[in-house]
C-alpha cells in the first residue's frame, strides 16, 4: 500500500486549484501549471486539501496513487515557491556566461557551446563556475539540468566537467609508473 499516496496535499494560501476533465490546473504567485491525471486515480479537493483516490485496489492503481500525489505536490510547490538546481563547472579554463535566453559554455572543446534555455527556466552564473537554474516546473528543470550536465560529464580522474552541486564524484587513481 502506498503510504505517500494516502497523505493529503495542502493547498498553499495564495494558490488556486481547478480540476475538470481529468486535468488539474494550479495558479499561484509564480505562474500557472497544469497536468493531466491518469484514469486509474481521481482527485478529491476539499478544505484546502487534495486527496488522491485510487479507483480500484490493484497494484498499479496503488502505485499511481503515490505518483500522482507527488506530481500534484510538485505543481503546488512550483507555483508557490519554485524550484532551483545548482550545477558546478570544474576544470581549468572551463566557464559559462549567460546571454539572454542562452548559456555560452567554454568546456575545453575547440568551439564554444551555445545552450538554449527552455521557456520557464532561468539561469544565473556566479563566480564563473556555479550555475543556478530556477523554474516552477520541476520536471522541466531536471531535464534542463541533465542536458547541461551531459555537455561535459565529470570524469573520474581529475573531476573535470559539469556536475550537480550535491553529486560526489568517485575518484580513480591515475597511472602508477614504476622504473
Q: Please determine whether the domains at 3-80 and 83-164 fall in the same fold group of CATH.
A: yes
The number of residues in the chain equals 179
The reported pLDDT for the residue numbered 178 is 66
How do the domains of the chain map onto residue ranges? 3-80, 83-164
The reported pLDDT for the residue numbered 107 is 92
The three cell numbers locating residue 42: 481521481
This prediction's pTM? 0.88
For the domain spanning 3-80, the CATH number is 3.90.930.12
Summary mean pLDDT of the chain: 91
The reported pLDDT for the residue numbered 128 is 77
Cα distances from 5 to residues 42, 64, 111, in angstroms, run 12, 8, 48
Q: pLDDT per residue over 60-99, tens digit each?
A: 999 999 999 999 999 999 999 999 999 999 999 899 999 9
Output the furthest CA–CA distance in the chain (Å, rounded).
Answer: 76
Residue 9 pLDDT more than 70? yes
pLDDT band at 176; cut points 50, 70, 90: confident
The reported pLDDT for the residue numbered 87 is 95
Q: Round to whole Å and give the CA distance between 113 and 115.
A: 6
Beta carbons of 34 and 21 less than 8 angstroms apart? no
CATH class label, 83-164 = alpha beta
Which one has a higher pLDDT value, 124 or 173? Answer: 124
Amino acid at each position: 500500500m502506498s503510504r505517500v499516496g494516502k497523505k493529503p496535499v495542502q493547498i498553499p494560501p495564495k494558490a488556486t486549484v481547478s480540476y475538470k476533465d481529468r486535468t488539474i490546473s494550479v495558479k499561484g504567485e509564480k505562474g500557472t501549471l497544469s497536468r493531466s491525471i491518469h484514469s486509474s486515480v481521481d482527485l478529491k479537493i476539499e478544505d484546502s486539501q487534495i486527496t488522491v483516490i485510487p479507483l480500484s485496489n490493484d497494484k498499479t492503481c496503488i502505485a499511481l496513487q503515490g505518483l500522482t500525489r507527488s506530481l500534484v505536490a510538485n505543481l503546488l510547490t512550483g507555483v508557490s515557491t519554485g524550484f532551483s538546481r545548482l550545477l558546478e563547472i570544474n576544470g581549468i579554463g572551463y566557464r559559462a556566461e549567460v546571454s539572454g535566453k542562452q548559456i555560452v559554455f567554454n568546456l575545453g572543446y575547440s568551439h564554444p557551446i551555445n545552450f538554449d534555455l527552455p521557456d520557464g527556466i532561468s539561469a544565473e552564473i556566479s563566480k564563473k563556475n556555479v550555475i543556478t537554474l530556477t523554474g516552477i516546473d520541476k520536471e522541466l528543470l531536471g531535464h534542463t539540468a541533465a542536458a547541461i550536465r551531459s555537455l561535459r560529464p565529470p570524469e573520474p580522474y581529475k573531476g573535470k566537467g559539469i556536475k550537480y552541486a550535491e553529486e560526489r564524484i568517485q575518484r580513480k587513481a591515475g597511472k602508477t609508473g614504476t622504473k
